[in-house]
Structure formats: C-alpha cells, structure tokens
Amino acid sequence: MELFPLWLSLEVSLVATALTLGLGVPAAWLLGRRTFVGRDLLAALVVTPLVLPPTVLGYYLLVLIGTRGPVGRLLDAVGVEVAFTWKGAVLAACVGSIPLLIRAAQAGFEAVDPRLEAAARTLGRSEWSVFWSVTLPLAWRAVLAGAVLAFCRAFGDFGITLMVAGSIPGKTQTLPLAIYDHVQANQMPEANTLALLAAGIVVVLLLGVGRFARLRY
C-alpha cells in the first residue's frame, strides 16, 4: 500500500510547525507583552483562521499566491512556485494552525510575572536576553502545548490544503486527502489503515505532551 501521503503529511506538518513557531512566538509575545498601534487588528487577524471556512481561507490564499496574485508575482520573479506544490501544503497548514500556537503561547507569556522580567532588566540584561533567559523558560510549556496542537491541526488539514495545493497523488496529496480519495474509490481497507495511523499519531503526541508538561521548568 502507498504510504507516500503519510510521509508527506509528516514532512509538511513538521515544516509548517517550525514556521508557525518562528512567526507565532514573536506575535504571541507582542500580543502578550506589548501595547502598540494595530494590536487589536493583529489580535483579530490571529483568530480569523479559526472561524473562517477552510475553503474561504484557501481561496484567499490562492488569490494571494497564484501567478497573478501580488505575492505570487513576487515569488514568481525569484523563481519560487508555491501554488499546487508541497510548499503550498505547508502554507495551508501554517495558516490553519498558527492561531492555536499564538493563543496558547500568548496565554503562557501573560502568565509570566512581569516583575521577573523587570528584575532581569535591572540586572543588566537586554530585552532579547530577558526573553530567552526568563520569559521563554517560564512559558515554554504553554509554547510546547501550542506547538503540539498546531502540529496536529497541520497534520489534519483538509480544506485549505485542497484549495492551495490540490490533491495531486505522489506530489501534494497529504494523508487526509488520500483518505478522502480512498473512500471515494471505495478502497475501505486503505482508508481504514491511513485513518488509524493518523489517529494514532495524534493521540500519542497529545499524551506525550501531557507527560512532558508535568516536568519542572
């Protein structure tokens, strides 16, 4: 049986989670720790992927990165193709999962006593150093929990991926899309195997993070 969709999905969700961490942690820190112009707008923007229908999200993404879209033309100029490639799947997974990470990490940062950061500043540390030595070490459990949720969400994305990356077997067909195709083709044993694999991976991850998060800082 063809396991390509499983490997692709794992790969896509790992890359997407890494990207989500890179973008989401700074955003969560900004939302949790700073006041700035456009804060409310950013906060609202962060929630939209949770409430918009995935197809709507996918549609707008496609408009944005398609060869005639503003971002798409830029990408085209540097020779990067995103739409209907595995990179498109990564983008889709990212957009779908980043709200989960940001919300968890923001709550984690907000729970850090600001006086601890103040103490670090009076002890000669820069903002950058304060973040890495105090804020993040005290909030890492929340960030990790958010990252695992984000990974699971990325792993399971269907609608956005379908719109942005398509469902090209052997190229952009991720595990959820493959399951759908199998069911459509009445290949129930294959669908069953993939579904069990997906459910198993997610359950193991969530159990693992629960155990990990009980450790001390």
Instruction: Please give the residue ranges that form the binding site for another protein (CB under 8 A).
Output: 113, 115-116, 118-126, 129, 133-134, 137-138, 216-217
Grouping H, G, I as helix, E, B as strand and the rest as coil, residue 113 is coil
The residue (of 77 and 215) whose beta carbon lies closer to another protein is 215
Question: Could you count the other beta carbons within 10 Å of the beta carbon of residue 106?
Answer: 25
Question: Could you count the other beta carbons within 10 Å of the beta carbon of residue 107?
Answer: 15
To another protein, the closest distance from the beta carbon of 150 in angstroms equals 24
To another protein, the closest distance from the beta carbon of 206 in angstroms equals 25
Asked if residues 64 and 164 have their Cβ atoms less than 8 Å apart, the reply is no
Q: Which residues contact 114 (CB under 8 A, 6 or more apart)?
A: none
To another protein, the closest distance from the beta carbon of 113 in angstroms equals 7
The residue (of 15 and 138) whose beta carbon lies closer to another protein is 138
CA 81 distance to own-chain centroid: 20
The residue (of 1 and 215) whose beta carbon lies closer to another protein is 215
To another protein, the closest distance from the beta carbon of 151 in angstroms equals 25
